[in-house]
Structure 1
Amino acid sequence: MRKVWWMGLWWSGCLAGATLQLDSHPAPPYQVVVDGRLSGEAVQVLDCALSRLQLAYQVDLVPWKRAQVNVQQQRSDGYFSVMADPAQSAFATLSAPLVLEKWYWYALTPAVLQTADFPVGLRIGALRGSNQANWLQEQGWPPFVLVNQQESLLRLLQIGRIDLVLADERTLAAATAPVRRQLARRFERYTALGVNWAHHFLDQHPGFLSRFNAQLPDCSVPGGQLNDAEQQILRQQTARDRDHWLAQLALWQALAKVTPWDALATSRLDDQWLAWQRDGGSPPDWVTRLLASPLSRQLADWQQAQQGRLAELFVTDVRGRLIASALPTSDYWQGDEEKVSALVSQARAQGPGGEPWLERGQQAAPVILYDDSSHQFISHISYPLWQAGRLRGVLVLGVNVEVALQQGR
Structure 2
Amino acid sequence: MKAIFNSLILFSFMSGTALANEFQSELEALASGQIAEIASSGEVIEAVKAQNLETAGHDQAKIDELDKTWRAEAEAVDQPMIDSVLDNSLSGYLADLQDGSDGLFTEIFVMDAKGLNVGQSDVTSDFWQGDEAKWSDTYGAGAGSVHISELEQDESTQLLQSQVSVPVVDPDSGQPIGAVTFGVNVENL
Indicate if the aligned counterparts of 2:117 and 2:127 stay in contact, CA closer than 8 A. yes
Q: Is 1:343 matched up with 2:146?
A: no
Between Structure 1 and Structure 2, the one with more strand by share is 1
RMSD of the TM alignment (CA)?
A: 2.5
| Amino acid in the other structure paired with 1:397 | F
Residue 368 in structure 1 maps to residue 151 in structure 2: yes
Taking a change above 3 Å as real, the CA distance of residues 345 and 255 of structure 1, as seen in their structure-2 partners, is closer
> Could you give the per-residue CA deviations for residues 197-230 of structure 1, whole angstroms, max 9, x where no partner exists?
xxxxxxxxxxxxxxxxxxxxxxx764112446x3
Structure number with greater Rg is 1
Structure-2 change in CA distance of 1:265 and 1:227 (3 Å): closer
In 2: Cα distance, 1:244 partner to 1:265 partner: 29
The structural deviation recorded for 1:307 is: 1.1
Unmatched runs of 5 consecutive residues or more in structure 1? 1-104, 106-131, 136-165, 167-187, 194-219, 360-366, 405-409
Measured against aligned partners, the alpha-carbon deviations of 1:209-255 in whole angstroms (never above 9, x if no partner) come to xxxxxxxxxxx764112446x3222222332132134132x222211
Distance across 1 between alignment mates of 2:90 and 2:140: 25
1:333 aligns with 2:118: no
Q: What is the SS of the residue equivalent to 1:399? A: strand
Does the 8 Å CA contact 1:224/1:369 hold for their aligned counterparts? Answer: no
Structure 2 residue corresponding to 1:269, chosen from 66, 69, 74? 66
The normalised TM-score by structure 2 is 0.84
- CA separation in 2, counterparts of 1:226 and 1:315? 21
Q: SS where residue 311 of structure 1 aligns?
A: strand
**Contact 1:312-1:327 at 8 Å conserved across structures:** yes
Rounded to whole Å, the distance in 2 between the matches of 1:264 and 1:251 is 26
Q: Secondary structure at the match of 1:223?
A: coil
- Could you tell me how far 1:395 is from its partner in structure 2? 0.9
**Corresponding residue SS for 1:282:** coil
Contact map agreement 1:242 1:395 (CA 8 A) in 2:
no
Residue in structure 1 matched with residue 168 of structure 2 by the alignment: 385
Q: Is 1:358 aligned to residue 153 of structure 2?
A: no
Aligned ranges 1:52-131 → 2 under 5 Å: none
Shift of 1:296: 0.7
Aligned equivalents of 1:344, 1:226: Cα separation in 2:
21
The two structures have a TM-score, normalised by structure 1, of 0.41
Aligned to 1:282: 78
Contact 2:71 / 2:125 at 8 angstroms: preserved in 1? yes
Map residues 79-228 of structure 1 onto 2, 5 A cutoff.
Answer: 188-189=5-6, 191-193=9-11, 222-227=16-21
Aligned residue in 1 for 2:103: 308
| In structure 2, C-alpha distance between the alignment counterparts of 1:342 and 1:237, rounded to whole Å | 17
Q: Which has the higher helix share?
A: 2
Partners of 1:335 and 1:398 lie apart in 2 by 17
Contact 2:139 2:177 survives alignment (8 Å): no
Amino acid at match of 1:358: I
Aligned to 1:382, the other structure's residue is in SS state: strand
Structure 2 gaps of 5+ residues are: none
Q: 1:299: how far off?
A: 0.3
Corresponding pairs, count: 181
Once the two structures are TM-superposed, the CA of residue 287 in structure 1 deviates from its matched residue by 2.4
| Distance in 2 separating the partners of 1:386 and 1:331 | 23
What is the CA–CA distance in structure 2 between the aligned matches of 1:391 and 1:245, rounded to whole Å?
11
Aligned residues of 2:110 and 2:118 also touching (Cα < 8 A): yes
Kindly state the Cα deviation for residue 304 of structure 1 after the two structures are TM-superposed. Answer: 0.5
The secondary structure found in structure 1 opposite 2:161 is: strand
Moved over 4 A (4+): none
Find the aligned partners of 1:397 and 1:247 in 2 and give their Cα distance: 15
CA contact 2:169–2:178 (8 Å) conserved in 1:
yes
Deviation at 1:374, TM superposition (A): 2.1
Q: Secondary structure at the match of 1:396?
A: strand
CA–CA distance in structure 2, aligned partners of residues 391 and 308 of structure 1: 28
